[in-house]
Amino acid sequence: MGDHLDLLLGVLLVASPVLGISSCSSDGRMALYRFCNLTQIPRVLNTTESLLLSFNYIKTVTATSFPFLERLQLLELGTQFSSLTIDKEAFRNLPNLRILDLGKSQIDFLHPDAFQGLPHLFELRLFSCGLSDAVLKDGYFRNLGSLSRLDLSTNQIRSLSLHPSFRELNSLKSIDFFLNQIPIVCEHELKPLRGKTLSFLRLAANNLYSRVSVDWGRCMNPFRDVILETLDVSGNGWTVDITRNFSNAINGSQIFSLVLGYHNMGSGFGFHNIKDPDQSTFAGLAGSSVAQLDLSHGFIFSLNFRLFETLAELKVLNVAHNKINKIAHEAFYGLDSLQVLNMSHNLLGELYNFNFYGLANVAHIDLQRNHIGIIQEETFRFLEKLNTLDLRDNALKTIYFIPSIPNIFLGGNKLATLPTIRFTANFIHLSENRLESLDNLYFLLQVPHLQILILNQNRFSSCNQGRVHSESLSLEKLFLGENMLQLAWETGSCWDVFKGLPRLQVLYLNNNYLTFLLPGVFSDLTALRGLSLNSNRLTVLSPGNLPPNLEILDVSRNQLLSPDPDVFASLHFVDITHNKFICECELSAFIRWLNQTNVTIFGSHADIYCMYPNSLSGTSLYSVSTDGCDEEEILRSLKFSLFILFTVTLVLFLLTVLTVVKFRGFCFLCYKMVQRLLFEDRTLGRDSDTYTYDAYLCFSSKDFEWVHNALLRHLDAQYSDQNRFHLCFEERDFMPGENHIANIHNAVRSSRKVVCLVSRHFLRDGWCLEAFSYAQSRALAYLNGALVMVVVGSLSQYQLMKHEAIRAFVQKRQYLRWPQDLQDVGWFLDKLSQHILRKEKETKKDDSIQLQTIATIS
Ligand SMILES: *[C@@H]1O[C@H](CO)[C@@H](O)[C@H](O)[C@H]1NC(C)=O
Ligand SMILES: *[C@@H]1O[C@H](CO)[C@@H](O)[C@H](O)[C@H]1NC(C)=O
Ligand SMILES: *[C@@H]1O[C@H](CO)[C@@H](O)[C@H](O)[C@H]1NC(C)=O
Ligand SMILES: *[C@@H]1O[C@H](CO)[C@@H](O)[C@H](O)[C@H]1NC(C)=O
Ligand SMILES: *[C@@H]1O[C@H](CO)[C@@H](O)[C@H](O)[C@H]1NC(C)=O
Ligand SMILES: *[C@@H]1O[C@H](CO)[C@@H](O)[C@H](O)[C@H]1NC(C)=O
Ligand SMILES: *[C@@H]1O[C@H](CO)[C@@H](O)[C@H](O)[C@H]1NC(C)=O
């Protein structure tokens, strides 16, 4: 970490020379001389604590190279571009040195006394220095009583014969021999380490025991009487046989964590010539108290019967990145202490009830990235301590049950529905599935004790009406980003989904194509502190949209045009970058608010920019001036009032017109009713005259039924007491047996008016035409207006003009047309009544009735 910090500091200092030290100089405590083309140790102040000399051309270090630097703790001499010679007691002027880094410097000559005089040296880095076995054999590390970490990785060491002086290195904890060429290590070579406890011994990537045939009878146990916290023998190409022989050989040595990754055990997929480990492979580890075993990155295809039965103390088993496709019966038998089982990145396709038998204490099973498509229902039922089950990135399309365990990861599967079986959980991860119906969300919200629910990247877009109301009193975080909630919500339903979540603190609704929010949709989320609406299509946010106690809001990458600053006023943090602000005077309140608000605005000023008008496109809101907007506002309000006035008038006018057109029949009825109430006696008091009938209704007998319904019932006194006319018509009033012509003449003579209902039938009926002619001649002889003609049906001018009598009439007089719209009938009958009632003398000049239903021909 010190190294890391140095580097960080170094970069910081290089980047900012103003702060004090630039490259190739010193501030008294830290001397920074990386990449300074040095060939010699520079003269630094005796107060220096860190001296960084990597990446130079220093060739030789002798006892006099360094000035006396009593305070120096860190010396970096690694990566010299020329090869290095280190002479006797080269560092003796650095008596308090704690870390000496020579890594990646090619050391041509290293004096056996080179490291003498460093009683406080804690860490010695000698990786990639081209060192041979001699460095171990010849006592180079004598007297380094404080040495704890020795890094000899990536050298050319071929044998691990340790000099007896290793026995005195009482602080030694960690030795790294990674990537050397040590083919074999036997008991006598590591004798000086007996009685020691090493926290870390790394013998990885050495082809250890795999290139030579080992006579274990003679080699015996290399780690006899050594306690190893971590032994890393990975990357040595171990097969099942080597592993078994090694395990047997180290019988009894304590190794708490055995790293055996990158091995060659297992048949792989589709091969049979290399064995999978079996019951005997790890049997020799029985007395080694192994608590962690790493068998990752290999070719194990089948976990065989009672494979780990002797590892009663094992707590963590990692078999990730193998080719496991089969779990034999009782494969985990004996792992009574196992807590973590990592089987991720394998080839499991299905899980059976018996698979995890024996794991009484397992708390975490990692099954990520297999190909699991189906799980038998009882698979996890009896794992009572199971706390976390990770089934991410498998191929589950359906699942018949969800185990009731606190943390369940089901993300990255193909689930389209969930079983509606009750279960409990604190944490559910279901992102990257294919859930579509919000029913699933309502269902999950009912899961007892649920605190975190992750549903990102599903397909939530439909809303089913027949669901139960759900509420969760425990839910704290809900992730619903990258769905299609707009599709569900734009139908107007499922907006109540956030109604019962009083504890919810964080809600993600990013990337949901939202174009609007229903006011009050979040109003019940009284505990909500953070809300992300990032990357939607919202154009407006109103104060009612946001939850009452919100502190952090992300509405970046929306389409807010001209937001109301009051919406954000009560927040603590807001991100409004990348919206589409319209930089016109409407926005001035918002711009002023941005300039002086206490709310912390995320993002750089440049990312809060105008979209319109084009002249300001891309300009930061912070550099837009609002001058001149105030006067315009007054003008605008005036304009606005005028606009309102105009609009109201127009709307009222249109409404009136519309009412009259649409409901004229009804209006007329009302009008008549009022008239009747006010002028009741006038209608009664009309004077009688000499005629027997008020009118003779002349029509074709084929039209009788229609005339009866449409006219007689509404006008003739015999049909209703309210009717006031005495009408004459053939079917009732003609004298039977009498000559028909005589009857017609009689009727015309004894009626004040003649009303001819000219229909298609009328025109074909000789009697009717006769009656018409007679009535017309009488009308001409005595008085105008005694004949009223009503055209019924869609008769054209041409059809009327064909008949002489009618032609004569229509050329001189107006006629009535039966209305097409039913609601006009009342009005028409009233008009007709007036015609019938009209006195002869008056009718002469009263020809100017202008109405829609009267056609005029001049
Ligand atoms: C080191 O030498 C190289 C090549 O001669 C030169 O480009 C570079 O600037 C030198 N660096 C310093 C810090 O003097
Ligand atoms: C550093 O050197 C000065 C004299 O040059 C001496 O006075 C001082 O005590 C030395 N400091 C240390 C820490 O050695
Ligand atoms: C393992 O040990 C057995 C006998 O103990 C021996 O026959 C076999 O060759 C050894 N295998 C390896 C790979 O060392
Ligand atoms: C391991 O050592 C124990 C005694 O400590 C002995 O009983 C056992 O047989 C040994 N196992 C092997 C495989 O050598
Ligand atoms: C299991 O191994 C995989 C791959 O090495 C790793 O990413 C994952 O974090 C491990 N799981 C656990 C629970 O340690
Ligand atoms: C922001 O406020 C300062 C005073 O607090 C004022 O001088 C400046 O003109 C304002 N800028 C804008 C763009 O309103
Ligand atoms: C910002 O905070 C200060 C002091 O906390 C307060 O006086 C001022 O009114 C606040 N401004 C706004 C716009 O809330």
Q: Which of 561, 423, 445 is nearest to 498 (CA)?
A: 445
| pLDDT over 50 (residue 140) | yes
Report the nearest atom of ligand 2 relative to the CA of 45. Answer: 1
Number of domains the chain is built from: 3
**Which of the listed residues 350, 367, 396 is the one where a domain comes to its end?**
396
For residue 249, tell me if it sits in a domain. Answer: yes
The residue out of 612, 630, 648 marking a domain boundary is 630
Q: How far is the CA of 179 from the centre of ligand 6 (A)?
A: 64
> Which numbered ligand comes closest to the C-alpha of 286?
4
- Cα distances (Å, whole numbers) of residue 775 to 224, 273, 809: 142, 123, 11
How far is it, in rounded angstroms, from Cα 683 to Cα 681? 5
Residue 320 CA: which ligand 5 atom is closest? Answer: 2
Tell me if 769 is assigned to some domain. Answer: yes
522 dihedral zone (left: phi>0; alpha: psi -120 to 50; beta): alpha
Query: Is the pLDDT assigned to residue 270 strictly greater than 90?
Result: no
Q: Is the CB of 241 under 6 A from ligand 3?
A: yes
Q: Given this model, what pLDDT does residue 684 score?
A: 40
Amino acid 306 reads R
Best residue for ligand 3 mutational test, from 215, 219, 245 (most atoms within 8 Å of Cβ): 245
Range of the domain at 534: 519-630
Looking at the domain assignment, is residue 803 inside a domain?
yes
Ligand 1 atom, smallest distance to 36 CA: 13
Q: Which of 338, 362, 396 is the last residue of a domain?
A: 396
Q: Is the CB of 78 under 6 A from ligand 4?
A: no
Alpha helices (H) along 737-824: 740-749, 760-764, 766-781, 797-801, 804-812
Is 836 found in the same domain as 702? yes
Q: Which tokens go with 803?
A: 């008949």
For ligand 7, atom 7, name the residue with the nearest CA: 598
Which ligand is closest to the CA of 590, given by its number? Answer: 6
Please indicate, yes or no, if residue 486 is contained in any of the structural domains.
no
Ligand 7 surroundings by CB, under 6 angstroms: 596-598
pLDDT of residue 193: 96
Cα 676 to middle of ligand 4, angstroms: 123
* Substitution candidate for ligand 5 out of 366, 408, 409, 429 with most atoms within 8 A of CB: 366
Asked if 626 and 719 sit in the same domain, the reply is no
Residue 466: the pLDDT is 65
CA atoms within 13 A on the CB side of 647: 6
- Residue 206 placed within a domain: no
**Mean per-residue pLDDT, 413-437:** 95
> Which tens digits make up the pLDDT trace of 273-289?
899 999 999 999 999 99
Q: CA-CA distance, 347 to 370, in Å (whole number)?
A: 5
| For ligand 3, atom 5: residue with the closest CA | 245
**CB of residue 252 inside a 6 A radius of ligand 4:** yes
- The residue written with tokens 């025109």 in the block is 763
What CATH code is carried by the domain that includes residue 841? 3.40.50.10140
Nearest listed ligand to the Cα of residue 28: 2
- Name the DSSP class of 822: G
End-to-end Cα spacing for the chain: 110
CATH number at residue 315: 3.80.10.10
The pLDDT confidence band at residue 832, using thresholds 50, 70 and 90, is confident
Ligand 3 pocket check for 758: Cβ under 6 Å: no
Do 621 and 714 have their domain in common?
A: no
- Closest residue by Cα to atom 7, ligand 2, is 46
Atom in ligand 2 nearest the alpha carbon of residue 68? 14
340 lines ligand 5 (CB under 6 A): yes
Determine the distance separating the centroid of ligand 5 and the alpha carbon of 391, expressed in angstroms: 12
Is the per-residue pLDDT at 682 higher than 70? no
Q: Are strands 477-479 and 99-101 parallel, antiparallel or unpaired?
A: unpaired
The reported pLDDT for the residue numbered 163 is 96
The 3-state DSSP class for residue 333 equals coil
Determine which residue's CA is closest to atom 4 belonging to ligand 3.
Answer: 245
Test site for ligand 2: of 46, 47, 72, 93, most ligand atoms within 8 A of the Cβ? 46
φ and ψ of 628, to 5 deg: 85, 0
Percent helix / strand / coil, the chain, rounded to 5: 25, 15, 60
Q: What percent of the chain has pLDDT over 70?
A: 90
- Confidence check: pLDDT of 750 > 90: no
Q: Does 242 contact ligand 3 (Cβ within 6 A)?
A: yes
Per-residue confidence at 631, pLDDT binned at 50, 70, 90? low
Among 1-15, 107-121, 150-164, 643-657, whose mean pLDDT is lowest? 1-15
Q: Which of 591, 595, 608 to mutate to test the pocket of ligand 6 (most atoms within 8 A of CB)?
A: 595
Q: Provide the 8-state DSSP code for 8.
A: H
What's residue 794's pLDDT?
Answer: 79
What is the pLDDT of the chain when averaged over all its residues?
A: 87
Among 771, 811, 766, smallest CA distance to 787 is for 771
Give mean pLDDT, residues 296-307: 96
616 and 703 co-located in one domain: no
* Residue 179, number of CB atoms within 10 A of its CB: 17
Same domain, 700 and 565: no
Alpha carbon of 320 to ligand 5 centroid (Å): 7
Residues 6+ apart with CB under 8 A from 812: none
> Ligand nearest 211 Cα, by number?
3
Cα(448)–Cα(423) distance, integer angstroms: 8
Instruction: Read off the pLDDT of each residue in 628-643 and give the average, rounded to a whole number.
Output: 68
253 and 372 fall within a common domain = yes
- 3-state SS track over 387-442: CEEECCCCCCCCCCCCCCCCEEECCCCCCCCCCCCCCCCCEEECCCCCCCECHHHH
The 10s digit of each residue's pLDDT in 481-499 is 999 999 999 988 888 899 9
How does residue 635 score in pLDDT terms, banded at 50, 70 and 90? low
By alpha-carbon position, which residue is closest to atom 14 of ligand 2? 46
Least confident span in 95-109, 160-174, 524-538, 777-791 = 777-791
Q: Ligand 1: which atom is nearest the Cα of residue 37?
A: 1
Q: Is the CB of 439 under 6 A from ligand 5?
A: no
Residues 814 and 731 in one domain: yes
- Whether 64 lines ligand 2, by a CB cut-off of 6 Å, is no
Residue 68 near ligand 2, beta carbon < 6 Å: no
For a mutational test of ligand 5's pocket, the pick from 260, 297, 344, 365, i.e. the residue with the most ligand atoms closer than 8 A to its C-beta, is 344
CA 518 centroid distance within chain: 18
173 assigned to some structural domain: no
> Does any ligand 4 atom lie closer than 6 A to the CB of residue 132?
no
Residue 518 CA to residue 495 CA, distance in Å, equals 7
Q: Compute the radius of gyration of the chain from its Cα atoms.
A: 52
Ligand 6: which residue has its CA nearest to atom 1?
Answer: 595
Name, in order, each residue with C-beta under 8 angstroms of 446's C-beta and a sequence gap of 6 or more. Answer: 470, 471, 472
Of all protein residues, whose CA lies closest to atom 4 belonging to ligand 2? 46
Over residues 91-116, mean pLDDT: 96
- Across 126-191, the runs of DSSP E, i.e. the strands, are 149-151, 174-176
Q: Is 245 near ligand 3, meaning CB less than 6 Å away?
A: yes
Going from the Cα of 596 to the center of ligand 7, the distance in angstroms, rounded, reads 9
User: Residue 7 has what pLDDT?
Assistant: 37
Minimum-distance ligand to the CA of 621? 6
Check whether 30 has a pLDDT greater than 60: yes
Nearest CA to ligand 2 atom 5: 46
Same domain, 264 and 392: yes
Per-residue pLDDT, 383: 94
Tens of pLDDT, residue by residue over 70-79, are 999 999 999 9
- Cβ of 322 closer than 6 Å to ligand 5, yes or no, is no
613 and 703: one domain? Answer: no
Interatomic CA distance for residues 38 and 682, integer angstroms? 128
Query: 189-198, pLDDT tens digit by residue?
Result: 999 999 999 9
**How much distance in Å is there from the Cα of 591 to the middle of ligand 6?**
10
Same domain, 623 and 701: no
Whose CA is closest to 814, among 780, 764, 782, 853? 853
Decide whether any atom of ligand 4 lies within 6 Å of the 387 Cβ.
no
**Residue 452 C-alpha from the chain's centroid:** 15
Q: Which atom of ligand 4 is nearest to the CA of 284?
A: 13
Instruction: For residue 69, report the distance from its CA to the centre of ligand 2, in Å.
Output: 9
**Does residue 31 fall inside a structural domain?**
no
C-alpha triplet 803, 806, 808: angle, nearest 5°: 105
Secondary structure class of 373 (helix, strand, coil): coil
CA of 312 to the centre of ligand 5 (A): 22
Q: Residue 454 falls within a domain, yes or no?
A: no
Report the separation in Å between the CA atom of 46 and the middle of ligand 2, taken as the mean of its atom positions. 6
Same domain, 712 and 625: no
Cα 221 to averaged position of ligand 3 atoms, centre (Å): 15
Considering only residues 544 and 138, tell me which one the structure prediction assigns the higher pLDDT: 138
| Contact indicator for 425, 404 with CB cutoff of 8 Å | yes
- Adjacent-strand bridge partners of 101: 76, 125
Q: How much is the average pLDDT of 681-691?
A: 53
Q: What number does the ligand 2 atom closest to the CA of 47 have?
A: 13
As a whole number of angstroms, the distance between CA 299 and CA 323 comes to: 5
Report the residue among 220, 221, 243, 251 best suited for mutation to probe ligand 4: largest number of ligand atoms under 8 A from its CB: 251
257 and 338 belong to one structural domain? yes
The closest residue, in CA terms, to atom 3 on ligand 1 is: 37
* Cβ 729 vs Cβ 712: under 8 Å: yes
How is residue 708 annotated by DSSP?
A: I
Residue nearest to atom 5 of ligand 6 (CA): 596
Residue 19's pLDDT band, with cuts at 50, 70 and 90, is: very low
Split at pLDDT 50, 70, 90, the class of 842 is very low
